[in-house]
Amino acid sequence: MSRRLIVGLGNPGRQYHQTRHNVGWLVLDRLLAAHPPQSSRRRFDAELFECRDGLDTWLLLKPLTFMNRSGLSVAAALNWYDLAPGELLVVCDDLNLPLGRLRLRRDGSAGGQKGLQDIITRLGHQEFPRLRLGIAAPPGGNAITHVLGSFAPDEREPMNEAIGRAASCVEMWARDGVETAMNTFNPAPAPPPGAPRDAPPAGTSAPESE
């Protein structure tokens, strides 16, 4: 028997539900649809759902503190359940990754993501896994408007597919460990036949968040 804490970052309020900054919540919603919770309640300034996977327990947490104060809920839950950093996974958006790209890491910096930064600050370290889901850089350079905006019509289908892959990545992380999930989901998915490949120009490298 084991216990895992899976945190989806986002902002509370209906106006934010389908925005780019809330993809962490959308991934948790997909997991909850596949694994109906045994219980749900408000705790740690968050919505907390307890799901079962065989003999294992998955604690799904949606902080309600707004993105920049996400660490309050995460630190409280981690301490209450006496979990090790490796038993925590944070799911969040990343505007430095191409739309729909997944990037799982066992640790690392916040890379500009305010929710991750607050978690690192309140935990006092950055040695916990995180799954980033690419929302692409803002075309006009206004990051705040971009992350708080909804997906464009032509982005919705690829993001829906990416959210499904992210949920599968979380499941693999919880069952098989971070290395197996990284090796399976970090490589870019193959493009459909005839589509241009998502590769940087010669002599450059794809942008990294960490």
Show which residues are catalytic: 21
Closest CA to 207 of 93, 97, 95, 108: 97
What is the C-alpha separation between 103 and 117, in angstroms, rounded?
17
Coil, helix or strand at residue 133:
strand
Structure tokens at 7: 């945190």
Q: Give the up-direction half-sphere exposure of residue 107: CA atoms within 13 A in the CB hemisphere.
A: 9
* Furthest C-alpha separation in the chain: 52
Coil, helix or strand at residue 106:
coil
